[in-house]
Amino acid sequence: MKTIFAVFGDPIEHSMSPAMHNAAFTDMGMDCEYHAFRVGQDSLRDALIGAKAMGFGGVNLTVPLKEKALSIVDADPLAAKIGAVNTVYFKDGMRGYNTDGIGAKRALDNAGVDIANTRVLILGAGGAARAIGFQFANDGANITIANRTEKRSHDLARDISSVGTAQGTGLTNLKGLIAQADILVNATPVGMHPNTDQTIATADSMHPDLTVFDIVYNPLETRLLKETKIAGATAVNGVMMLVYQGAEAFRIWNNVEPPINIMKDAVLEALGIQKS
């Protein structure tokens, strides 16, 4: 019998996960399908219980469900520390994991960017920012969290300090913060389709030695990354973070190594980009 996997979120129409995972299942000859379902925070518990009852192999969670899931599933130690879950496996109950951090790390590795001993400025203080902050701090980076609501940035930095060096601040001195950073991470939805004219920073605030990593992957080249290229800095888009976090979820569910290039090409094709 076919095994079903899914991604839950609201909104969910933009998700590339079905294309990515279904391409992997087809390539590996697995009798599985992956679908997207719109699920709000108030319905998450029922949706997860229902998915388990119907024999789903596992689910991914996207905004706004990652932090809400923590009170529903049995989170592994990393996900519990991060405070967000993006992958749920139904073997032996409902086990929650977070693969965003490792996805971000591998995306930068793929771009030839070493995280250790760098100054990383993360914009945003939500679930993705938490995962990336914990992962990068654990890998030896000095983390600064900058967020519009400054209290949230201080709270997150305090949490991240349990594994490394971190501090929080507001956005009033963003240009100065970027000037001091080696890596800038946009962990907000600013610039995501359909609001593609928006950017959280412009070229005049960047320097050529900066790496700008935008976790937004639709569009592939956000306005932030266009500004990055104008500044002569290194631009890293969000596609490979999506692919690598999805690959880690695939491993958790199936205990096999997924076809990374097939997953990447499926995402690019879904975005209307020529395959690599």
Comparing 3-98+240-270 with 101-237, is the CATH topology the same?
Answer: yes
Indicate the pLDDT class of residue 55, thresholds 50, 70 and 90.
very high
Question: Which of 2, 52, 66, 105 is an active site residue?
Answer: 66
pLDDT tens digits, one per residue of 243-270: 999 999 999 999 999 999 999 999 999 8
pLDDT of residue 127: 82
| Of 247, 193, 184, 241, nearest in space to 213 by CA | 184
- How many CB atoms within 10 Å of residue 2? 10
Apex CA 119: angle with CA 187 and CA 225, to 5°? 45
pLDDT tens digits, one per residue of 137-161: 999 999 999 999 999 999 999 999 9
Report pTM.
Answer: 0.88
Q: Could you tell me if 34 and 62 are in contact, meaning their C-beta atoms sit under 8 angstroms apart?
A: no
275 is annotated as an active-site residue: no
Q: Above 80 in pLDDT, residue 276?
A: no
> Which sequence spans correspond to the domains of the chain?
3-98+240-270, 101-237
In CATH, which superfamily holds the domain spanning 101-237? NAD(P)-binding Rossmann-like Domain (3.40.50.720)
Q: Above 70 in pLDDT, residue 274?
A: no
Q: Which helix (H) or strand (E) holds 104?
A: helix 100-110
Domain 3-98+240-270 fold: Rossmann fold (3.40.50)
Sign of the Cα torsion 146, 152, 156, 157 reads positive
